[in-house]
């Protein structure tokens, strides 16, 4: 249960946009290779990218 509460912000962040957009952006922000999303999907917008960066920063990245 403690682990659930620790990871809850990260899990919520993975669903701030249509899957797999946030997951691919997180992988890219962590410095790993991630292919761009394909149409009809679009890249994560700047505001959501900043939110995702903040969440990842809370986990030391």
Note down pLDDT in tens along the chain; length 61 residues. Answer: 899 999 999 999 999 999 999 999 999 999 998 888 999 999 999 999 999 999 999 999 8
Query: How many CA atoms lie less than 13 Å away from 54 in the CB half-sphere?
Result: 9
Task: Compute the distance between CA of residue 1 and CA of residue 61 in angstroms, rounded to an integer.
Answer: 23
- The pLDDT assigned to 16 comes to 97
Distances (CA, A) of 60 to 5, 27, 36, 56: 17, 14, 24, 7
- The pLDDT assigned to 29 comes to 96
């Amino acid at each position: 249960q403690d682990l659930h509460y620790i990871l809850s912000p990260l899990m919520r962040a993975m669903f701030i946009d249509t899957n797999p957009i946030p997951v691919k952006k997180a992988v890219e922000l962590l410095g790993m290779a991630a292919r761009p999303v394909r149409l009809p999907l679009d890249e994560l917008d700047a505001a959501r990218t900043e939110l995702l960066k903040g969440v990842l920063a809370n986990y030391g990245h």
